[in-house]
Amino acid sequence: MKKKITRDDFLSHDEYAVVRAERKRKVSSLKKNRRISVGPDATFYFESFDTMLHQVQEMLYIERGGEEQIDDELNAYNPLIPNGCELIATLMFEIDNPERRAKFLSELGGVENTVKLILDSDVINGIPEIDIERTNESGKTSSIHFLHFPFKISQFLKFKNHKTSVTLSINHQEYGHQAIVPDVIRKILSEDFD
């Protein structure tokens, strides 16, 4: 499985226009089994080479930034492709009402440091991507966070074993929720490891 997007992976603007609708359908289908809701407002999207390639191709297609944009996108999105011994998730707090969203996020500072993947009793702490600070000085957090879950070999073997209970949790004082990772999703995510 590829771990890094290169310029050779992109289609030209015109080539992508022809296959864009079909690519979007395929990635949407792929993401369906890489998505886990935790509580009423949080959704984790576990990333892969294919999800990140689609994201970058879409950015290039929509923004039409040309050569100058390509390096920026590669630098931003390549770190979000699992390296073979980790899972990487985009955590999104999805709240449609702008007033409720602003209040909610203003009370959720530091939430990115409270995410855990629990394999029976073995805990893997989510490590926030360090691209930018996601919680500001006033305690307001972003609606989007990128988290790495680094695995030891023993943890991967547990994760792969269908008898292991796997739970994804957020333990913030203002948002404490957890969800069991379904077997179908666990099986698909297991393919991200070397």
pLDDT in tens, 93-144: 999 999 999 999 999 999 999 999 999 999 999 999 876 666 666 778 889 9
15 is in which domain, residue-wise?
A: 7-190
Asked whether residue 27 is domain-assigned, the answer is: yes
Report angle CA 178, 179, 182 to the nearest 5 degrees. 160
* Total domains present in the chain: 1
Task: For residue 132, give the H/E element and its range.
Answer: none
Asked whether residue 30 is domain-assigned, the answer is: yes
The residue whose two tokens read 């957090």 is 141
Asked whether residue 1 is domain-assigned, the answer is: no
Q: Are strands 86-93 and 144-150 parallel, antiparallel or unpaired?
A: antiparallel
Q: Which two tokens stand for residue 46?
A: 């576990």
Asked whether residue 2 is domain-assigned, the answer is: no
Q: pLDDT value at position 76? A: 87
Q: pLDDT value at position 180? A: 96
Phi, psi (degrees; rounded to nearest 5) at 95 = -130, 115
Amino acid identity of residue 139, one-letter, is G
Does this model's pTM top 0.75? Answer: yes
Q: How far apart are CA 194 and CA 186, in angstroms?
A: 15
Q: How far apart are CA 23 and CA 33, in angstroms?
A: 16
CA dihedral 181, 184, 186, 189 (to 10 degrees): -130
The set of residues, in sequence order, having a beta carbon less than 8 Å from that of 116 and lying 6+ positions away, is: 123, 124, 125, 126, 168, 169, 171
